[in-house]
Structure 1
Amino acid sequence: MSQSTVLPAAASTSTPAPVVSVSPVVLSAPGRGEDLQVRVSAPATGRELPIMVFAHGFGASCNSYAPLVNFWAAHGFVVIQPTFLDSKTLGLSPEDSRTPSIWRFRVEDMKRSLDGLDLIEASVPGLQGRLDRSRVAAAGHSYGAQTTGMLLGARVLDSGGFPGKDMSDPRIKVGVLLSATGRGGEDLTPFAAEHFPFMNPSFAEMTTPALVVAGDQDDSPLSVRGPDWFTDAYTLSPEDKCLVTFFGAEHMLGGISGDLVTETTDENPERVAWVQRLTWAYLRSALYPGDPAWSAACAALMDSPKPLGRVEWK
């Protein structure tokens, strides 16, 4: 059964810790064409720290999404950000033989980031021995949300409509999908159907718990549907899912990719503050059963006379 509540203006969380960031940490990547560069951000204090691997959107890099990454790290997560082959910083040619398979390389890069935890620990001053490898989350925005969804169990349908290879990772216990693209097939524009055949997901197998975050003004040129396309990862997946829909939000959800960046068309620091708080609270309670962060956030939402959005769960 689906339930819902309402978002108010932003609320505070605990006092943030200083953050240490190191970039690039270079991980060996045989068969990729070049080694994988990641950025690692961690709180300067604390032990048994949970881990998050974050997937950037198309064209971005490991140095993007500072508003989210810095917040998560300041509140206890070690955040690992791989730079994928589609990043503008790498300048991969559309004619490169790897281009049609970038979506696969992305999933492999997320897994490779977790495979490289020993090197990552050794590369960040003061991080050695402070990771809790039993508590791992994945998050991503836009193209990165599709990448993350596959790690949670989503599949890509083939031309016959059958689910492709299972690329999920059992190390990942929970996920956050920000502005995740929806169903393919007839829901895509002709351009998207021709150029992005991998954009044809099945969410029926996405059994790992997840929070889906969408904007009700996110009208994509890739789909013939409206903003509800970005809620498919919630509505078409099994239970143990939550959905946050922000009112007035477009694809960048108020500016999560950075401060004053040109791709943000709906700049709203208050909305970004809520994305920060809700994603952190959800992950805390999912990774630490009994932690009141998510229930406290939901309780705070119900008291607002000016809601910024809506939360649902099933």
Structure 2
Amino acid sequence: MSYNYKFARFALITALAFWLAISASASSNSDYDPLDIPADHEPEIIDTAVHDRARSRDIPLRIYLPASDSAAPVLLFSHGLGGSCKNNAYLANHWTARGYAAVFVQHPGSDNSVWKSVEPRQRLAAMQKAANGRNWLLRVRDIPVVIDRLEEWNAQTEHPLQNKLDLTRIGMSGHSFGAQTTQAVSGQTTHPRFSFTEPRIKAAVMFSPNCPKNLTPEQAFSRVKIPWMLMTGTKDTSVIGNATVESRLSVFGALPPGSKYELVLHDAEHSAFGDRALPGDTEPRNPNHHRAIVALTTAFWDAHLKNDTSARNWLNGPGPRTVLEPKDRWQTK
């Protein structure tokens, strides 16, 4: 057999193997669909509360469980200012349909009690007053307390949550004030001498992130070690705290590379990530926004909590563009 023939045969086999690998990868990617959920899915809902003796504080929870006998990865959610654990049910319903247990946390002092008993004309002032450092700290300290109690319940005989939760795989997310809460417990630097990072959280999603006013973006975010996904909009501002689009966009640029993602939805206002419009909204709600949000967050959780290779390939490949509109901006690093 001549040298040229051997070389040609080797080149052909190598090219064929490469083509097969690419084809298999493409097939795997095309088979993955983060929007695919059972038509008859109905999560089990448990309304309960955690009592923190050390702070004499009751923390309401709404827990959504998937229809599964095996322990499910856990997704925590922190609501925005003036919200409750019943907000953002569209996220909980989709995530549980994909096999996650969703634990929605309510933070007394910055929840719906802030405005419920206040005259309509005084509500904005009440909300602004509640957006303070004390309530931020209460929220941040709620999270490890909730995780501790989930671990206890998961191990407790005859508890409704017994063996239902896989607490080695915890994700954390939140909107607005809840995004700030999530940032603080998932790697943001808040002070040179102490940290609020909760090591049991393995990945995080922030809806309407923001840079703390006492730090530069690089000081706050350059040491984040776990996967982060950020979501905001080109009109995502807030009169409370004077949050700007520029401040929200400054977060991604300061993050270190490695499993970091950012979605900027075209014409999305602050309410786009919630269940309903807010007073003062000027843009009609775009139904594709929620479709994109649940698709991208699901792929993110699947990739980084379930270690699903197909989800990772979808997320890092052309998959996101299949659920986004032309003017939506998507980037990774």
**1:207·1:239 contact (CA, 8 Å) conserved in 2?**
no
Partner of 1:113: 146
Partner of 1:15: 38
The answer as to 2:316 corresponding to 1:292 is: no
Post-superposition offset of 1:14 = 3.4
**1:217·1:227 contact (CA, 8 Å) conserved in 2?**
yes
Post-superposition offset of 1:200 = 12
Post-superposition offset of 1:66 = 1.0
Match of 2:275 among 229, 238, 258: 258
Larger mean Cα displacement after TM superposition, 298-307 or 70-79: 298-307
**1:13·1:277 contact (CA, 8 Å) conserved in 2?**
no
CA distance 1:181–1:164, shift in 2 (3 Å): farther
Distance 1:262 1:70 in 2: 26
Larger mean Cα displacement after TM superposition, 120-129 or 163-172: 120-129
Partner of 1:84: 107
Which letter does structure 1 place at the counterpart of 2:268?
A: A
**2:72·2:164 contact (CA, 8 Å) conserved in 1?**
yes
Q: Secondary structure at the match of 1:252?
A: helix
Higher-Rg member (1/2): 2
Distance 1:225 1:104 in 2: 19
Which letter does structure 1 place at the counterpart of 2:62?
A: R
Unpaired stretches in structure 1, ≥5 consecutive residues: 1-9, 158-162, 188-198
Partner of 1:128: 162
Match of 2:264 among 236, 245, 259: 245
Which letter does structure 2 place at the counterpart of 1:154?
A: Q
Which letter does structure 1 place at the counterpart of 2:42?
A: P
- Following superposition of structure 1 onto structure 2, how do residues 212-291 of structure 1 map, counting pairs within 5 Å? 212-221=230-239, 226-240=244-258, 241-253=260-272, 256-259=273-276, 266=283, 267-291=285-309
Distance 1:145 1:12 in 2: 24
Unpaired stretches in structure 2, ≥5 consecutive residues: 1-32, 118-125
Partner of 2:174: 140
Larger mean Cα displacement after TM superposition, 29-38 or 57-66: 29-38
Partner of 1:196: none
Which letter does structure 2 place at the counterpart of 1:235?
A: G
**1:150·1:206 contact (CA, 8 Å) conserved in 2?**
no
RMSD: 3.4
Match of 1:49 among 67, 72, 95: 72
CA distance 1:271–1:306, shift in 2 (3 Å): closer
Larger mean Cα displacement after TM superposition, 304-313 or 176-185: 304-313
Question: Normalised by the size of structure 1, how large is the TM-score?
Answer: 0.78
Partner of 1:104: 137
Equivalenced residues, count: 285
Distance 2:185 2:50 in 1: 20
Q: Secondary structure at the match of 1:182?
A: coil
Post-superposition offset of 1:26 = 1.9
Post-superposition offset of 1:74 = 1.9
CA distance 1:21–1:184, shift in 2 (3 Å): same
Bigger RCO of structures 1 and 2 (CA < 8 A, at least 6 apart): 1
Post-superposition offset of 1:81 = 1.5
CA distance 1:185–1:166, shift in 2 (3 Å): closer
Q: Deviations over 1:267-287 (max 9, x none)?
A: 222111110111111111011
Post-superposition offset of 1:154 = 0.8
Question: Normalised by the size of structure 2, how large is the TM-score?
Answer: 0.74
Post-superposition offset of 1:202 = 1.3
Post-superposition offset of 1:165 = 2.2
More helix by proportion, 1 or 2? 2
